[in-house]
Amino acid sequence: MKIFVCIKQVPDTETKIKVAADQNGIDTTGIKWVLNPYDEIAVEEAVKFKEKNPTAQVWAITSGPKTRAVESLRTALAMGADEAIVINSDEKLDAISTAKALAATIKAEGGAHLIFTGKLAIDGNQSSVPQMVAEFLSIPHTSVVSKFENQGESVLVERDVEGGAKEVVQMMNPALIAANKGLNMPRYASLPGIMKAKKKVIKEVEFSSLGVSATEQKVKYVQFTLPAEKPAVKLLNGDSSAQAAELIKLLRDEAKVL
Amino acid sequence: MSKILVFAEFQNNKLKRSSQELLQFAAKTGHTVLGFALGTQAGAANAELAHHGAQEIHFVKDASFDVYNPELFTAAVSEVISKTGATIVLASAGSTAKDLFPRVAAKLNAGVISDGTEITIAGDDVKVKKPLYAGKCFATGTFENATVKIVLMRANQLPVAAADSAKTAPATEHTFTTPSLKTIIKQIVKGTSEKLDLTEANIIVSGGRGLKEAGNFKLLNDLADVLGATVGASRAVVDAGWVPHSMQVGQTGKTVAPSLYIAVGVSGAIQHLAGMSGSKVIVAINSDPNAPIFQKATYGIVGDAFEILPKLTEEFKKALHH
Ligand SMILES: Cc1cc2nc3c(=O)[nH]c(=O)nc-3n(C[C@H](O)[C@H](O)[C@H](O)COP(=O)(O)OP(=O)(O)OC[C@H]3O[C@@H](n4cnc5c(N)ncnc54)[C@H](O)[C@@H]3O)c2cc1C
Ligand SMILES: Nc1ncnc2c1ncn2[C@@H]1O[C@H](COP(=O)(O)O)[C@@H](O)[C@H]1O
C-alpha cells in the first residue's frame, strides 16, 4: 500500500527576495531553501497513517532541480518517509507540467492508495498542482483539509471554506488530500531519523524521460518586480478623540475608502 | 472576437460583488461576454448577469450544483466551456474557483493563473499580474500554447459601476447528467460568521496579541459592525485559541486585499504582512512606535487600543450614520 506525499522546496519566508537581472525570475543566490510549510503537514499526516497501518509505505516525491530538491526529500525521510523520488526538472516549470510529471511518476511506481499534498506552495501562490494531479490520475481530491479519518475503502475529511464553514467530504480511495494548517502539528525529525535519511538512496527520474514536452507548458512568468515602496506612514497626533476624528477625515477625504 | 466566460457566484441569491467586477471588466474588452451560473438560483439570476455586462447567458438550473463537489463541477464546467467555445475564463479566486479551475485546466489542457491582482486583455493576449513569494515580489503571468486561458482574480481589484437594468441577454439552459462520483459531500457545517469572508471583504478590522485577551475582541466587533467590516486576526491570537483559524490573516492564514485594513495590536511580523500588504489603505494602531506594522501603514496611531477603539467606533457611528 503506497502512500505518496508531494513536496516542494521553497525559499524560507524570512528570506529576502531579489529579482534576477533579466527580470524573468528571482535571484536565487543566498536563498535559504526549506520544505514548503503545508507539505510538512502533508508528510506528517502520511507518516501518522503509516504508524496506524503497518503495510503502508510512505513515498515522498518532488519535482525540481535535483541538487537542491533532494534536501527537502531528506527532511521528509527524516520525519519518517520510507522512500524518496526526485524528478530532476527546471525550477520554472508551470503547474500543469509539474502535475503531469508527478502523475506519470506515481503511475509508473504502480499508483497510490492515497496521496497527500500541501494546499499551496508559498512561492508561486497557485494552489493548482494537487487538483491537477488528481485529474490526471482520475481520482477524487479534497483541498484545504484540516481533518482526516481513514475508513478503509474511503476517507472522511473536513475542508475549510469561506466564512469559517467546513465541508465534511467522503472520498473513495485512491484519493488525494491537500493539507491545510490545523490538520496536525508536524513533528521534528529525530536524530536517528536524520542519520537514516542521510544514508538513504534517493531514486532519480529525469523530467525529459516522462513524455511531458516543453510545449505543454501553458503559463510563463515574466517582468518580476518588487512591490512599490509605500510612502512613509502618516502618524496622527492629539488625544484619542482628535486622532479618531482625524483618521475618519483622512479615510473619507484623502484615501476615499469610506 | 473571442468569447470570455465569467463564472458567476452568488451569496444569499445575489450576484457577488467579485462576479460583478469580472463581468463589468470583461464587457470592456471588446470580446463577447458569457455569464455562466450553476445551481437553483441559476436562471432567476439571468437578468442580473445581463445588467452587469453579460451578452449571452449560460446556465445549469439544477439543485445538485448548490453544493460544491469538485468532480461534478469539473465535469459540468469543462463541458460548458468546450460547448460554448469560450477561450478566456474569468472567476474570482475564492474557495470554490481556486479548487475547481486547476482541475478544469487539467481536463481541458488549459493554462490557469490564480490570485491575479491586475489583468489586461488586448485581443487574445491575456496578461495577469500576481503576487509571488508571499507578496514579496510580483510577476506578470502570460499564456503560451493554451487554447483556453483561465484567470482567477482576487476580489476587490477591479472597479464596479452601477448596473444597467436596461440591458438584456439571450439565455441558454444546459442540462447535465451527473456522472458516478467518488466524492460525496456529507455535511456542511456552517461558520460562525454571517459576514463577508475575509478574502472578499472590502473593509477588515484585525486584532493581535495587543488586545490582551479573547473577550476584548468585542471592541473590534463593535467597530466592525459600524463599518460593515469583517474581523481578522494574527496567528498569535489564533494559536492562543481566542478566535478560530478561519479568521487568521497571513502566510498560513488568508491572503486579503480589502480597500481598508485596520490592524489593532498587531506587530506586523513578516508572515502577517504576507497576507495583507496588498490592502489599498492600511491603518495601524499600536502602542509601540517601533512596531514593524507602521512601515507598511498608510495612517498610524501610536497609542492604547483600549482607549482608541471605543472612540473610533463612536466617531465612525457619527460620521457614517447621519
Ligand atoms: C511559518 C510561520 C508562519 C506564520 N504565519 C502567520 C500568519 O499566517 N499570520 C500571522 O499573523 N502570523 C503568522 N506567523 C507568526 C508571526 O511570526 C507572529 O508571531 C505573529 O503574527 C504575531 O502576532 P501579533 O502581532 O498578534 O503579536 P505580537 O507580535 O506579540 O504583537 C502584539 C502587538 O501589540 C502591541 N500592543 C500591546 N499592547 C497594546 C495596546 N494596549 N494597544 C495597542 N497595541 C498594543 C504591541 O506593541 C505589539 O506590536 C507565522 C510564523 C511562522 C514561523
Ligand atoms: N514541484 C513540485 N513537486 C512536488 N510537489 C509539488 C510541486 N509543486 C507543488 N507540489 C505540491 O502541490 C501543492 C500545492 O502547490 P501549488 O499548486 O504550486 O500551490 C504543494 O504543497 C505540494 O504538495
Q: Give tens-digit pLDDT for A225-250.
A: 998 888 899 999 999 999 999 999 99
Q: Cα separation of A187 and A247, whole Å?
A: 46
* SS3 label, residue B196: coil
* Ligand 2, CB within 6 Å, residue ranges: A 6-8, 36, 38-39, 42, 62-64, 95, 98, 102, 117-118, 120-121, 124, 126-130
How do residues B30-89 score in pLDDT, each as one tens digit?
A: 999 999 999 998 989 999 999 999 999 999 999 999 999 999 999 999 999 999 999 999
A38 alpha carbon – ligand 2 mean position (Å): 9
Taking the C-alpha atoms of residue A222 and residue B158, their distance in angstroms, rounded to an integer, is: 22
pLDDT of residue A175: 98
Q: What's the gap in Å between the CA of B125 and the closest CA on chain A?
A: 12
What does the pLDDT read at residue A195? 95
Strands A2-6 and A57-64: parallel
B252 or B206, greater pLDDT:
B206
pLDDT average, residue stretch A168-181: 97
Measured from the Cα of B266, ligand 1's closest atom is 25
Beta carbons of A96 and B299 less than 8 Å apart:
no
B182 to A140: CB separation less than 8 angstroms, yes or no: yes
Alpha carbon separation from A151 to A41, A53, B252 (Å, rounded): 20, 12, 28
pLDDT for B147 equals 94
Average pLDDT over residues B212-217: 97
Pair B301, B317: CB distance under 8 Å: no
- The answer to whether the CB atoms of A230 and B295 lie below 8 A apart is yes
Cα B244 to ligand 2 centroid, rounded to whole Å: 26
- What residues of chain B, 148 to 167, have a C-beta less than 8 Å from chain A? none
DSSP code at position A250: I
ipTM of the prediction greater than 0.85, yes or no:
yes
CA-nearest residue for atom 4, ligand 1, is B271
Which amino acids bring their CB within 6 angstroms of ligand 1? A 13, 37; B 208-210, 234-237, 248-253, 265-267, 269, 271-272, 275, 285-288, 291, 304-306
What is the per-residue pLDDT for B194?
64
Name the closest residue on chain B to residue A131, using Cα atoms.
B103
CA angle B295, B297, B299 (to 5 degrees): 125
Please state the φ and ψ torsions of residue B254, each to the nearest 5 degrees.
Answer: -100, 150
CB contact under 8 A, A236 and B300: yes
- From chain B, the residues in CB contact with A172 under 8 A are 182-183
Residue with the smallest CA separation from ligand 1 atom 50 is B271
How confident is the model over B277-321, as pLDDT tens digits?
Answer: 989 999 999 999 999 999 999 999 999 999 999 999 999 998 886
Is B139 close to A221, i.e. CB distance below 8 A? yes
Q: Cβ(B305)–Cβ(B265) under 8 Å?
A: yes
Instruction: Give the residue, out of A98, A109, A136, A180, with the most ligand 2 atoms within 8 A of its beta carbon, to mutate for a pocket test.
Output: A98
- What is the pTM assigned to this prediction? 0.89
Residues in chain B: 322
Question: DSSP readout, A171-186?
Answer: EESSEEEEE-TTS--P
Contacts of A247 (CB under 8 A, 6+ apart): A236, B283, B299, B301, B312, B315
Which residue's alpha carbon is nearest to atom 30 within ligand 1? B209
Angle at B279 between CA B294 and CA B6, to 5 degrees: 170
Q: Is B182 exposed, middle or buried (0-12, 13-18, 19+ CB in 10 A)?
A: middle
Q: Which ligand is nearest to the CA of A141?
A: 2
The number of residues making up chain A comes to 258
pLDDT digits (tens, 9 = 90+) for B81-90: 999 999 999 9
| B168: contact with A, CB 8 A cutoff | no
The continuous run of DSSP H or E covering A110 comes out as none
Backbone angles phi, psi at B204, to 5 degrees: -125, 135
Give the residue-averaged pLDDT of A52-80: 97
- Looking at residue B5, its amino acid is L
Tell me the percentage of chain A whose pLDDT exceeds 70.
Answer: 100
Contact A123 B190 (CB under 8 A): no
